[in-house]
Amino acid sequence: MEPSGAPGAGLRAVRRALLAWSAAAMMAACAPADPGSPASTDAAAPPVAPLDPAVELFEDRAAETGLDFVHFNGMSGSFYQPEMMGPGAGLLDYDNDGDLDVYLVQGELLGSGTPMVPLPEGQPPGDRLYRNDLEVRPDGTRTLRFTDVTAESGLPAGGYGMGVAAGDYDNDGGVD
């Protein structure tokens, strides 16, 4: 046993106390439930009605709004970890008009060789930036439209990406 003034003695005491509290908490959590408590009764759960398969909960409107993007994960058959991860997307106001624009992150070929699934026909490689051109009519109805502004934005949209982070780098009030 070390004297209480030895270097590291306080840290070891804290570790031992945390271990003891953790063990006590686990034992309490694993103890059998009180038979009289409501959580341990054998009452059946109320029946849940199945969803009607004819009711569509979501509708794909990407093409009609101008979002023409298919993620390419770059799989080459070598089973790289990024192939299993989903793509990134960011909602940001790149043109400072008050509407959220869409930045979509693309992958690229991983490893050497030929991709197992080619990039979709007509879609250039790289990330894409879509400007939100929301149309508001005099009667208040709205139509959502997006315009691909990747080229005119000057974005260096190459490389393998999995996420988006945006901020005001130069402190001018706009997203950089």
CA–CA dist 92, 149 (Å, integer): 14
Sign of the CA dihedral 158, 163, 168, 170?
negative
* pLDDT at res. 144: 92
Q: Is the pLDDT score of 11 beyond 70?
A: yes
Quickly state the pLDDT bin for 175 (edges 50, 70, 90). Answer: confident
pLDDT by residue (tens digit) across 112-135?
Answer: 777 777 777 777 778 899 999 998
Q: Is the pLDDT score of 61 beyond 80?
A: yes
Residue 64 three-state SS: helix
- On whether the pTM is more than 0.85, the answer is no
Task: Look at the chain and count its residues.
Answer: 176
* pLDDT at res. 24: 73
Rg (CA), the chain: 27
* pLDDT at res. 155: 82
Q: Which of 80, 59, 63, 60 is nearest to 122 (CA)?
A: 63
Residue 175 CB partners (closer than 8 Å, separation 6+): 92, 93, 94, 96, 166, 167, 168
